[in-house]
Amino acid sequence: MAGSTALPVTPTRAMLREAGLIALVVFGLSFSLVGFKIEDVPGGLAILTRFDGVFFATALAFLGRIGLIMLREQRALPVALTALPTAALVLLLQLFSGDLDPERSYPFRSGVVNWSLFAVALALGLRALWLTWHHGGSLSNRDARDAAMDRVGAKVQHAARFLGPALLGFAIVLPFLPFADRRLLDIAILVVTYIMLGWGLNIVVGLAGLLDLGYVAFYAVGAYSYALLAQYFDLGFWTCLPLAGILAAFAGILLGFPVLRLRGDYLAIVTLGFGEIIRVILLNWYTFTGGPDGISGIPRPTFFGLELTKRATDGETFHQFFGLTYSPMDRIIFLFYLILALALVTNLFTLRIRKLPIGRAWEALREDEIACRSLGMNPRNTKLTAFSIGAMFGGFGGSFFATRQGFISPESFTFIESAVILAIVVLGGMGSQIGVVFAAILLIGLPEFFRELQQYRMLAFGLAMVTIMVWRPSGLLAHREPTLRLHPKPGQENTS
Amino acid sequence: MPESMLKISGVHTFYGHIEALKGVDMEINEGEVVSLIGANGAGKSTLLMTICGNPQARSGRIEFLGEDITRRASHEIIKGGIAQSPEGRRIFPFMTVFENLQMGATVSDPRHFDDDLERVFTLYPLLRERRNQRGGTLSGGEQQMLAIGRALMSRPKLLLLDEPSLGLAPLLVRQIFDIIKQINEEQNMTVFLVEQNAYHALRLADRGYVLANGEVLLSGTGAELLANEEIRAAYLEGGH
Ligand SMILES: Nc1ncnc2c1ncn2[C@@H]1O[C@H](COP(=O)(O)OP(=O)(O)OP(=O)(O)O)[C@@H](O)[C@H]1O
Ligand SMILES: [Mg+2]
């Protein structure tokens, strides 16, 4: 290989050390996470051990790291010769062992993991094979990669005006596509809910630059507003939706008033505290909110007064009115369109208000508060509007959540929800509307597809997050093209 | 007798325990250009900021057009007809020139907007050319023009400028001062100018003040101060 002479070659010992270190980390993590499993067995709990999984994980991490190092230095042939057979082996093992019984599949006891492993090994092998014939363009050349991603980012930004409608069109026809089963639609509803929440929080964080770690509080206020109004006053979803929004916005003003004179980290900590306070109140005000028992029997939404159930409690049902045969999917599809509409309203509102003086003022405030003061802006009121409008959309989202679940309890409104929504906004690229969509699909949709892994699917969440941070530290699609230049030019960015 | 526009009497301003202004008295009359010079840390910027109510004076009194504004909120004061181009320009780097000017019109009647914009563009034709360029990519001189233009967008009666010549090449410095003169003469704008460049500032000014350690050291007409031996020694050494 003529091209390889120009590149520095890592000595074998250094290579082994680096791979050994990675293997050690993987071993440490997987030993307790994968190695033991507590299972319900007749007569109590039992600890099952799965050390074979730990062994495979460690060995694969070791080999994979060596493969990456060698690829970086363009010593591709040995990598290809190892990775491709490994991929084939994994494929065969999965095909022959997995279909019988997932608990016996090899190398890991989960089809999803095995298939992912196969995909990674195949990609590595093919890449290596490609490099064996074509020298140049290396995977880990950071500058080239960043520049390439910048170009992609700029293209997507440019394409956003077509991409947005295209995605919307796809979302509209989604329920009628042949592969749209109940599971997929449920995931889609969840993803769109988070897109909407992301867009709502984007007003506060992305536009006005207020770091809010307690957004879930408004989500909770919206959900409980609807649930309680329905329980105590027998009001329907469509009456409660605006009320829930107003109440959440009001909560936003109430919370915002004392805290918005704080800045940056301080604001973040106080909002985090408020998020928890709301949850603790919901948890302890037993006589009013039901405390940890939550509220059940929350009414389902109606389609202009038509119920989407098999038999109507009063009046007609949706399928009777339209002379259709009843299908339980109707309700799911209706919920999907409902949240899609709510999300669209959020988006259109944001796009519109951004062009109005108040939207401009938010962005100016994010850039330079002192300058804003000297121009006669009232920073507190300006921030309050951003805070309460963001809260209002959180409230809409919350009442949708309540009507979809039919049951809510404080458990659904923990800090992790705020963190996830914030992650969607930040990783999407602060202020970028379409970035929020991609980040939500990646962070919410992806782990849902790994649901088979049960609690381990949070690892997929972590993986998605780390991937974005490594590949796009400024967010998938940073808002306004020039914002990219906020950071050092690619190439000076090696510290990240 | 010219009419008094801004009257500052016995103003003390503190940053925590530090007393930055120690009883300042000053008066600015309608239609005047008044320059304030002084060494670094004398309290010049603090005085401008105190006029705008951020920080507020701890004691003393500030009157604008006969009304006491000492305890008013910043945005109320600006609404009342004072505009400031703050130290370090502070334009919005990620907003376009046009959007920056829009922000300048925060407190003014939206119906005036087109007229005011036209006036600023006539004053600085360059800004018209660059209206869609991001503020942060303008040169230092262009940014300064934008900062002044932005302040003018609110149709102020009194314009406060903090070191507009900071960091500019001599040719541009002259241009900036010419424009200040032009604003003063054509629009009969009252200007309160804080400057390090004492020579230009005093030559342009009807009257001037010298601030040292939070106190007014000297005052007089521009020509008097320019001729003053002390000032020549302290602020005009080494030419201009
Ligand atoms: N935010 C602040 N907090 C504490 N002290 C401050 C603050 N701003 C200014 N000071 C202090 O007040 C004094 C006056 O500062 P000021 O900025 O008014 O000076 P200046 O005359 O504008 O100087 P320069 O010509 O360098 O701009 C200085 O001693 C400064 O250290
Ligand atoms: Mg100063």
Nearest Cα of chain A lies from the Cα of B119 at a distance, in angstroms, of 18
Please enumerate in sequence order all residues whose Cβ is within 8 A of that of A175, keeping only pairs 6 or more positions apart, or say none.
A185, A329, A332, A333, A336, A337
From the CA of B13, which ligand is nearest?
1
CA of B100 to the centre of ligand 1 (A): 26
- Report pLDDT digits (tens) over B152-177: 999 999 999 999 998 888 888 998 99
Co-location of B58 and B170 in the same domain: yes
- Find the range with the poorest average confidence among A311-315, A440-444, B227-231: A311-315
Confidence at residue B34, expressed as pLDDT on a 0 to 100 scale: 96
Q: Which residue has the higher pLDDT, A7 or A24?
A: A24
CB contact under 8 Å between A357 and B106, yes or no, is yes
Co-location of B45 and B70 in the same domain: yes
Co-location of B42 and B69 in the same domain: yes
Q: What predicted TM-score, i.e. pTM, was given to this entire model?
A: 0.77
Residue A102 has pLDDT above 70, yes or no: no
Atom of ligand 1 nearest to the CA of B211: 21
Residue B82 has pLDDT above 90, yes or no: yes
- pLDDT confidence tier of residue B1, bands split at 50, 70 and 90: low
Interchain CB contact of A375 with B (< 8 Å): yes
Interchain CB contact of B154 with A (< 8 Å): yes
Confidence at residue A146, expressed as pLDDT on a 0 to 100 scale: 64
Interchain CB contact of A369 with B (< 8 Å): no
- pLDDT confidence tier of residue B77, bands split at 50, 70 and 90: very high
Residue A447 has pLDDT above 80, yes or no: no
- CATH assignment at residue B184: 3.40.50.300
Question: Which of B46, B85, B213 has most ligand 1 atoms within 8 Å of CB, for mutation?
Answer: B46
Question: Which of B11, B14, B15, B165 has most ligand 1 atoms within 8 Å of CB, for mutation?
Answer: B15
Taking all residues of chain A, what is their mean pLDDT, rounded to a whole number? 81
Cβ(B60)–Cβ(B73) below 8 Å: no
Q: Which residue has the higher pLDDT, B80 or A151?
A: B80
CB contact under 8 Å between A370 and B90, yes or no, is yes
Mean pLDDT of B77-86: 93
Co-location of B178 and B161 in the same domain: yes
- Domain boundary (B105, B138, B155) is at B155
- Domain boundary (B125, B155, B185) is at B155
Confidence at residue A451, expressed as pLDDT on a 0 to 100 scale: 66
Cβ neighbour number for residue A261 with a 10 Å cutoff? 12
- Those residues whose beta carbon sits under 5 angstroms from the ion ligand 2 are B 45, 87
Distance of CA A340 to the CA centre of its chain: 17
- Find the range with the poorest average confidence among A393-402, A483-492, B10-19: A483-492
Q: Which residue has the higher pLDDT, A5 or B19?
A: B19
Co-location of B189 and B161 in the same domain: yes
From the CA of B235, which ligand is nearest?
1
Of residues A357, A367, A483, nearest to B92 (C-beta)? A367
Q: Which residues in chain A have Cβ-Cβ distances shorter than 8 Å to B104? A: 375
Residue A224 has pLDDT above 50, yes or no: yes
Q: Which residue has the higher pLDDT, A361 or A160?
A: A361
Q: Which domain holds residue B109?
A: 89-155
- pLDDT confidence tier of residue A306, bands split at 50, 70 and 90: confident
| Chain B residue nearest residue A372, CA to CA | B103
Co-location of B55 and B17 in the same domain: yes
Confidence at residue A91, expressed as pLDDT on a 0 to 100 scale: 84
Of all protein residues, the one whose alpha carbon is nearest to atom 5 of ligand 1 is B15
Listed residue (A379, A378, A371) closest to B87, CA to CA: A371
Residue A105 has pLDDT above 80, yes or no: no
- pLDDT confidence tier of residue B130, bands split at 50, 70 and 90: very high
Interchain CB contact of A365 with B (< 8 Å): no
Interchain CB contact of B134 with A (< 8 Å): yes
The structural domain count of chain B equals 2
- Domain boundary (B124, B155, B186) is at B155
Q: Which residue has the higher pLDDT, A265 or A389?
A: A389
A120: left (phi over 0), alpha (psi -120 to 50) or beta: alpha
- Report pLDDT digits (tens) over B171-203: 889 989 999 999 999 999 999 999 988 889 999
| Chain A residue nearest residue B50, CA to CA | A374
Co-location of B161 and B233 in the same domain: yes
Confidence at residue B120, expressed as pLDDT on a 0 to 100 scale: 93
Confidence at residue A495, expressed as pLDDT on a 0 to 100 scale: 32
CB contact under 8 Å between A376 and B154, yes or no, is yes
Residue A327 has pLDDT above 80, yes or no: no
Co-location of B143 and B186 in the same domain: no
Co-location of B71 and B170 in the same domain: yes
Co-location of B224 and B110 in the same domain: no
Residue B213 Cβ inside 6 Å of ligand 1? The answer reads no
CA angle at A401 for the pair A400 and A403, rounded to the nearest 5°: 65
Q: Which residue has the higher pLDDT, A163 or A28?
A: A28
Q: Which amino acid is at A51?
A: F
Interface test with B, best of A375, A377, A382, A383 (most B CBs within 10 A): A375
CA angle at B144 for the pair B141 and B148, rounded to the nearest 5°: 145
Mean pLDDT of A165-188: 87
Q: Is the dihedral of CA B130, B132, B135, B139 positive or negative?
A: negative
DSSP state letter for A43: T
- pLDDT confidence tier of residue A141, bands split at 50, 70 and 90: low
Interchain CB contact of B90 with A (< 8 Å): yes
Mean pLDDT of A98-119: 73
Residue B164 Cβ inside 6 Å of ligand 1? The answer reads no
Percentage of chain A beyond pLDDT 70 is 82
Co-location of B177 and B149 in the same domain: no
Co-location of B166 and B123 in the same domain: no
Q: Can you tell me the ipTM of this complex?
A: 0.88
